[in-house]
Amino acid sequence: MDKPLISVKNLTKSYQMGDTIVHALRGVSIDIYKDDFVAITGASGSGKSTFMNTLGCLDKPTSGEYYLDGVDALNMDKNQLAEFRNRKIGFIFQSFNILARTSALENVELPLLYNNKISTKERKARALEALASVGLADRANNMPNQLSGGQQQRVAIARALVNAPLVIMADEPTGNLDTRTSLEIMSIFQNLNSTGITIVMVTHEPDIARCAMMNIVFRDGRIIGSREVPNRLIAAEELKKMPVESAESTI
């Protein structure tokens, strides 16, 4: 645990918006270690999403250093970055971002399609395995419009997992979900984390943030606080406490 998995030093990001220059990040430094489960919180416009996109190699910062798994992530061309994202990072978005009119299984297969080393047979097997791990093995052939919001997000989680990434980046993964479904997603996250997957998650819901191990608070493009969560919420237990609802509203 000596070397951090993610190491960010003095990251800044500013961009032009109309006449004004927006400073989204004003010098962010942080180390995130393997097996961490980090929740990033902060008001909207505090720079947490920009930070997340930078960590996910989707966006380039204006200055600073960023090492992921010991690799300089800021010194790669477009194709190298694409491959890097494909092999090392799993993404989960607030709006699920799964392809419409494409079955759950094919959505999960997608990252493997962009990896030539994986055969068709292996791709199918791994995608099914990932779907099973989020409890959707029986929904493999359903189209997204036949799935509930929670189920769609679980397809997205399976897609993020299928390439066995080093880290999962989740941007408001429960933003579009109700409390119960949110807790179920968090329960999956905690399970994944316990099997050794590092998770970085942006959220603005305090309850969801309490499911993580570490909380980082952003304000005005800076980290203003970082602490370990004192009494961590175990999502599975919270779920048990909730009143049992009728069958149709369960995911």
Partner 1 sequence: MKILQLFIIAFRSLNKNKLRSFLTMLGIIIGVASVIAMLAIGQGSKKSIESSISSLGVNTIIVMPGALTSGGVRLATGSANSLKNDDETAIAQRCDLLEYISPVVFKSVQAVSGNQNWSTVIFGVNDDYFKIRALTVSTGVKFSDQDEHVAAKVCVIGYTIDSNLFGSGVNPIGMSIRINSIPFRIIGMYDRKGQNAFGQDQDDAIIAPFSTIQKRMMSGSDYLNSIYCSAKSEALIDDAVDEITTVLRQRHKLAPSDDNDFTVRTLEDIANIFGTVTRVMTLLLASVAGISLIVGGIGIMNIMLVSVTERTREIGIRLAIGAKGKDILLQFMIESVLISFIGGFLGVCLGVFASYMVGKFGGWPVTVTPFSIILSFAFSAIVGIFFGWYPARKAASLNPIDALRYE
Residues that bind partner 1 (CB under 8 A): 53, 56, 58-59, 78-79, 82-83, 85-87, 91, 93, 97-99, 101-102, 110-111, 113-116, 159, 163
C-beta of 111 vs 173, nearer to partner 1: 111
What residues have CB less than 8 Å from 197, skipping those under 6 apart? 161, 165, 167, 168
State the nearest-atom distance from the C-beta of 92 to partner 1, in Å. 11
Nearest to 131 by CA among 158, 111, 153: 158
State the nearest-atom distance from the C-beta of 239 to partner 1, in Å. 29
C-beta of 33 vs 93, nearer to partner 1: 93
State the nearest-atom distance from the C-beta of 150 to partner 1, in Å. 19
State the nearest-atom distance from the C-beta of 162 to partner 1, in Å. 10
What are the structure tokens assigned to 199, written together? 């998770």
> What is the 3-state composition of the chain as percent helix, strand, coil, each rounded to the nearest 5?
35, 25, 35
C-beta of 86 vs 187, nearer to partner 1: 86
Helix (H, G, I), strand (E, B) or coil at 241: helix
C-beta of 31 vs 83, nearer to partner 1: 83
Buried/exposed code over 125-152 (b: 16+ C-beta within 10 A; e: otherwise): ebbbebbebbebeebbebebeebeebbb
- Asked if residues 102 and 144 have their Cβ atoms less than 8 Å apart, the reply is yes
Neighbour tally for 117: CB within 10 Å: 7
State the nearest-atom distance from the C-beta of 182 to partner 1, in Å. 22
C-beta of 129 vs 207, nearer to partner 1: 129
- Asked if residues 143 and 101 have their Cβ atoms less than 8 Å apart, the reply is yes
